[in-house]
Amino acid sequence: MLNYIWLTLLVLSLALAAWKDITLGNTQAMKAVTEAAIDSSKTAVTLSLGLIGVMSLWLGVMRLAEKGGLVEALGRVLRPVLSWLFPEVPAGHPALGAIVMNTAANMLGLANAATPLGLKAMEELQKLNPRKDTASNAMCTFLAINTSSVQLVPATAVALMAAAGAAQPTAIIGSALIATSISTLVGITAVKTLERLPVFRVSETRAEEKP
């Protein structure tokens, strides 16, 4: 799917920019696309390199949580929910602890902590994945929960509205909580339904190629 989306984005940007420039008789749009390509590649590297510090910090903390038995304990407490969401992941597996910690960080709006913990969870899920280049059901479910946003308080939005002089910047806390619950429910329902569709099924014959 990503292959198609990626190619579509590229082809559409060229087509749109060409159409704009030809109808307007200049080269502005194409110049903007060129600049965007170069700038975005730089942004990607800056973003990744900027992650090194927090990544090291949280992976260090995560290691302590693992060695101290906290990750396992978290996984055990939430086992009923987790075994329903991630039936392929055995109880007590470190992946579950990392998933719980990532979700907790997301709920609190701690984006800096959430990404490293989420990547740790992906690494653990990959260990259980029989086909390393293909997403497992557990990975997709984890991603769906993550992208549906489980943040309890939209702190950045509230801060922006407060800075703009809102009389009641916190008014959106309640509405966001309802909306985000709906989006998470839809995300989980969607992922659980889609994983059964033939288009998205991992072909079993190919999965069995590997011993």
Partner 1 sequence: MRALVEIISVWAIPLMIVGIAVVAALRRVPVYEEFVEGAKEGFQTAIRIIPFLVAMLVAIGMFRAAGGVDALTTLVQPLLSWMNFPAELLPLSLMRPLSGSASMAIFGELVKTHGPDSLIARMAGTLMGSTETTFYVIAVYFGSVAVTRTRHAVAAGLLADAAGVLASVWVCRWLFAGL
Report the nearest approach of partner 1 to the CB of residue 185 (Å): 8
Q: Which residues contact 148 (CB under 8 A, 6 or more apart)?
A: 180, 183, 184, 186, 187, 188
CA distance 182 to 43: 33
Report the nearest approach of partner 1 to the CB of residue 134 (Å): 4
CB count in 10 Å sphere of residue 127:
10
Report the nearest approach of partner 1 to the CB of residue 174 (Å): 7
User: Which of 81, 111 has the CB closer to partner 1?
Assistant: 111
User: Which of 80, 193 has the CB closer to partner 1?
Assistant: 193
Q: Which residues contact 151 (CB under 8 A, 6 or more apart)?
A: 106, 107, 108, 109, 176, 180
User: Which of 82, 187 has the CB closer to partner 1?
Assistant: 187
User: Which of 53, 87 has the CB closer to partner 1?
Assistant: 53
Report the nearest approach of partner 1 to the CB of residue 100 (Å): 13
Q: Which residues contact 52 (CB under 8 A, 6 or more apart)?
A: none
CB count in 10 Å sphere of residue 49:
9
Q: Which of 67, 130, 120 lies closest to 96, judged by CA?
A: 120
CA distance 136 to 186: 19
Report the nearest approach of partner 1 to the CB of residue 1 (Å): 5
| Total count of residues recorded for the chain | 211
* First-residue to last-residue Cα distance in the chain: 27
Report the nearest approach of partner 1 to the CB of residue 23 (Å): 12
